[in-house]
Structure formats: C-alpha cells, structure tokens
A and B are shown apart, each in its own frame.
Chain A
C-alpha cells in the first residue's frame, strides 16, 4: 500500500489526518479568540481589526477560508469513518458498562464534536454570512468610520474610510439571551473537546512519552480553559452591560463632529 493511500485508509493514517487538521483548528481558535478580545480595548480597535481582515486580497481571504473549511471537513470526515469502523468492531455491546478512569471529555468527543459543528454552522450564518432571520444587522445602522491609532483614516478625497461596525453587531448579537446561551454552551463544549484533543494530537503523532503525557494532559486542560474563559468573557460582559453598543462614544464620530 502506498503511503498516500495508507494515510486515508488505515486507522493510524486517518488519526494522523485528524491530528494534523486538529493542530490547524486549535491554532485558529486561539487566533480567533485573541482577535475577539479586542472588543475589550474598544469599538475602534475591533472594528479596525475586522477592517484589516476584510481588506486583504479577496484571493488570499478565500484561500484561508477554503483551507480552514478543508481542515474542518477532513477532521469530520475522518472522525465519521473511524467511528463507523469502531462501531463495526463491537457489534454486541456489553450488558453492563463501566469506566475505570477515562475522562468525561474523552468519552464524549463525538457528541461534543457534533454539537460544535451545529454551532459553527449557526455562528457563520449569524456573524459572517449574516443571514439568520431577524439578525441581519442593518448596514446603514452599523457602518462607522475607520479609526487606526486614534485617528480617523481618510481617503485621498478627504472622506473618511467607512467600515462595518463589528462591535455593535457583536453587542446586539449577544444581547439576545438564547444566542449568548448557545454560545456559552458551545465554547464550554469546545473547552472539553480541546482538553482531550490537545494532548491527543501529540499522542497520535507519536510525540509523547511517559513524562510528557502528564505535562501535555495538563497543558490540554489549561488550553481548554484559556479558550473557554477568553470566548465566554465576551457574551458575559455584554449580558452584564459592561460592553454597550453606543457608536456616539466612538472617537471617530467625535472627531468627525469637530
């Protein structure tokens, strides 16, 4: 069997694909969280960040999106194939089941993964495609001048560069209680999925021994919590009223009014 077909057909090969795509997704989640946390710096910071992401060449933007989609797709596809094979390996289940030591997170990877997938589809429809009925975020309401380094960015004609008000969109989104609740549940499951997945990636790639097993398990748990607290802080801050949609307080509008 050639190495190329082996990676897609053998149990270890498929696991290697899951681990490699897992690394990409784990790093993406960290970057995504770091970007989102700019909301605590202020509306102008997160709006400028969003502007930068969207102003990159369309080809590059879509290449990154396609790459992430392929990674997520492969991760899910391999999980499905491996799960089917594993189900087949035990046609008759035990009458009495017991668990000796396996963590709850490790036993529920498939379920947390399925719910996360449902969340990701909703999340993209909600904030990227903006097609969720009743939450389309009216462009005219949420278009604001771009501010970088505390100054309004002007076009050569002297007109300010306008950008989509991501800050207001996030605040409006999380003010809907069930959106925040679904979001919190999803990032909670993400924390669980990562706490097992993080150390599992290293195990699958063979990068673990007896000493590193303990360290990586702890690192995985810490990473899961870091991601959870980072993401969960935003809807919690919105629900608590710490972050409010108030474009008039933006430096940009104050500057423009002068």
Chain B
C-alpha cells in the first residue's frame, strides 16, 4: 500500500517543530505501525536524511514506551491497544496519516516524537510505594485480600504509564494515571497505612508538574491501552476529599 505520512519533526526542546511530509510507496498491510516507521527510517537513511526519533521498546503492548498520536488519537484508531499493536491493515491504500508526539507541558519534546515523561516518575516518587518490614519475605497470601478488592486493584495496576491519557485530554490532565496508581495501592491492605498521605502527595506532585485539570469528559479512558475506567478518578477524588478533610482534625501520614 502507498502512504503519505505527515510526521512531526523537531530537533530538540529549544527549537520549533513542524510537520514534514514523506511518501512510502510500498508498505505491507501486515506490517505493524512501528515497522512501517522502521521502513520510513531506512528510506530516510538511504537518502542521507536524519531518521525519525520515536519511542518503542517491547513491541508487545505491555511496556508503555510507544507514544504516538495518530490522526489526533493517542495510540491510533484501535481501542485498548498501544501503537505497537496497531497494524497497517487498519489503514487504506493512499491514506494520509498524521503522526505527532504526546503534547503537554509536563512532557517536553526531546526529539521528533520522543517526549520526556519523567513527570510521571515524580508523581510515583511522591506516593507510589508501601511500607514493608525488612527481613525475609513474608509468605504469599498471608494478608487476606477479598476477591473484588484484588480484581479492582488489578484493573488499576494494569496502567503501564504511557501517558496517552494526558495526550488525549484537552486539558492535558494526568488524573487517570494518578488515579490508577492511587486506586491500586489505596484499595489493597498493604497500601492502607499510607492511604491518606499518598493521595495528598501524589495529587500535589501532579499539580506541581503542571498538568491540567479534569473536566470528566472521558477521552483519557477511551484511548487508554489498558482501558483504565473513569471510576478510578472518582475514587481518587473521594480519597482526596476524605484525606483533606481528615487533615483538618488530625495529622495525616
């Protein structure tokens, strides 16, 4: 199939970027989207041009590295998958495809389609941990976890931290990411001791990083490759309000 690509090219965070147009004459519809970009890069190298920089790692849909906005939709047109799981058969011969990076101030562009997502790490560092006793590892299943709670925590833990939620949100809000991390740890008994201080610290880190606010319109969940549901955000709000209210009367954390 023949494709016209409009790819965001930007040398670094200090320079302005722009869309460059490339034409690929022969692309197999069985190739993945990232393989298609590999083909483009080989063509660019052969022509003596700089290849397009883009993030990728496992190419199995589980690492959260790949991060392309395709025709305005983070991770492309398929729901519940990452870009690496998107195949060219999803497109038609002669299509024009626009490829852009995640766009958010807390995700500065390093080069072309590669962004620095360490602001997510800062949110995790603020509260994405639990207190455990040192020494030998405790026996598995020593702490009973009710099945619905375990299921809920597992749904939240599915988040791979790719940042598509931020990229899809018109406000560049990181509420879905933060809510998944908070919901995972706050719902399990192991995470209970830091429940209140965790939610306060992680929301604080989220605000400090400069993410926008949630308008509850759900685009984050719609593009999430792990389909983190919106009710995680409701839980984040609930836990935050409870923790903030408690902090009026008692020392939290």
* Chain A interfacial positions (CB closer than 8 Å to B): 1-4, 6-7, 10-16, 82, 85-103, 106-107, 109, 196, 199-200, 202-210, 213
Note all chain A residues with C-beta closer than 8 A to B218: 101-102, 106
Whether the pair A99, B103 counts as a contact (CB closer than 8 A) is no
Closest Cβ neighbor of A97 among chain B residues: B72
A80→B214 CA distance, assembly (Å): 14
Per-residue CB proximity of B238-253 to A under 8 Å, as 1/0? 1111001101100000
> Of A97, A102, A204, which one neighbours B237 at CB under 8 angstroms?
A204
Closest Cβ neighbor of A10 among chain B residues: B207
Closest Cβ neighbor of A199 among chain B residues: B216
Interface size of B by CB at 8 A reads: 52
Are A203 and B217 also in contact (CB < 8 A) when A96-B72, A98-B71, A100-B168 are? Answer: no
A15→B69 CA distance, assembly (Å): 28
Any A CB within 8 A of the CB of B120: no
Whether the pair B241, A90 counts as a contact (CB closer than 8 A) is no
Whether the pair B204, A107 counts as a contact (CB closer than 8 A) is no
A contacts with B: majority SS: helix
Any A CB within 8 A of the CB of B191: no
Are A94 and B72 also in contact (CB < 8 A) when A15-B214, A85-B212 are? Answer: yes
Note all chain B residues with C-beta closer than 8 A to A91: 105
Closest Cβ neighbor of B243 among chain A residues: A3
> Of A88, A101, A205, A209, which one neighbours B231 at CB under 8 angstroms?
A209
A205→B170 CA distance, assembly (Å): 21
Closest Cβ neighbor of B230 among chain A residues: A213
* Chain B interfacial positions (CB closer than 8 Å to A): 6, 8, 19, 69, 71-73, 79, 98, 100, 103-106, 168, 170-173, 175, 203-204, 206-207, 210-219, 222-223, 229-231, 233-241, 244-245, 247-248
Whether the pair A209, B234 counts as a contact (CB closer than 8 A) is yes
Closest Cβ neighbor of A1 among chain B residues: B204
Whether the pair A98, B241 counts as a contact (CB closer than 8 A) is no
Whether the pair B173, A89 counts as a contact (CB closer than 8 A) is yes
> Of B100, B206, B207, B237, which one neighbours A203 at CB under 8 angstroms?
B237
Whether the pair A90, B171 counts as a contact (CB closer than 8 A) is yes
- 26 A–B contacts from the bound complex (CB under 8 Å): A3-B244, A10-B204, A11-B207, A11-B212, A14-B213, A15-B213, A15-B214, A85-B212, A85-B213, A86-B170, A86-B171, A86-B212, A88-B105, A89-B211, A90-B170, A92-B103, A94-B100, A97-B72, A100-B222, A101-B222, A102-B222, A103-B217, A109-B215, A204-B237, A206-B236, A206-B240
Note all chain B residues with C-beta closer than 8 A to A196: 216-217
